[in-house]
Chains A and B, each alone.
Chain A
Amino acid sequence: DAMVIQNPRYQVTQFGKPVTLSCSQTLNHNVMYWYQQKSSQAPKLLFHYYDKDFNNEADTPDNFQSRRPNTSFCFLDIRSPGLGDAAMYLCATSRDMVPGPQHFGDGTRLSIL
């Protein structure tokens, strides 16, 4: 089945140690999104790629970066994780930028020691 796959499902890192989360999709969608979801909260958009064009949300900390080397893959890099960055990170895709369905992966649960 076509889907959005996130790896790893669980990631533990140390305070200040860079970490990379990955997302792949078989939907061949043009847009890929990264969301942060803290416990008992709604997902919050960090940034998205439309093809190779990167769009950062105004309130996304500089600590968070992203790469999209090709249509299928997108990475979330957290340069110096703090305790407040512990969360579920969700990747989603959509066909294009016209309002319509977004398809989510099952997320990566990030813990900071």
Chain B
Amino acid sequence: QQQVKQSPQSLIVQKGGIPIINCAYENTAFDYFPWYQQFPGKGPALLIAIRPDVSEKKEGRFTISFNKSAKQFSLHIMDSQPGDSATYFCAASGHGNKLVFGAGTILRVKS
């Protein structure tokens, strides 16, 4: 019940395309859903986050869609660029703010 399932494992898109990464959770006590971007040799960087009282949040080219009834959320990257090539992790946390991470998606944006 503590798991967050993330798909796909890897994704290749052309520059300008819109990669979509999906996550699903079971624990209804989760109250905070962040997305992290990680480059090789670096720590995860918080990209964007959403709380379950909102269905969509947009920051720049990044959008989170959240479906509370389905217990699913997704990340969309608009007008993707080669510099967006990285590993993306979804996560969820509840009481105690312990992050449970998805397995990660390796994104490659081809120029």
Task: Report which A residues bind B (CB closer than 8 A).
Answer: 4, 6, 31, 40-45, 48, 90, 92, 94, 96-107, 109
Contact = CB atoms under 8 A, between A and B. Distances in A.
Given A42-B89, A42-B104, A99-B31, A94 B44 contact: no
Contacts of B103: 41-42
B41 A106 contact: yes
B99 A100 contact: no
Contact of A103 (B46, B94, B97, B101): B46
Interface of B: 30-32, 34, 36, 41-46, 49, 51, 89, 93-99, 101-104
Contact of B46 (A43, A45, A101, A105): A101
Contact of B43 (A41, A44, A94, A104): A104
Contacts, number: 60
A42 B43 contact: no
Describe B's contact surface by its main secondary structure: loop
Nearest to A90: B43
6 contacts: A4-B43, A42-B89, A42-B101, A98-B97, A105-B43, A106-B41
Please provide the 7 A-B residue pairs with the shortest distance between their CB atoms, ordered closest to farther.
Answer: A99-B32, A42-B101, A104-B43, A99-B31, A106-B43, A99-B93, A104-B44
A87 B104 CA distance: 17
A6 B41 CA distance: 13
B44 A43 contact: yes
A107 B46 contact: no
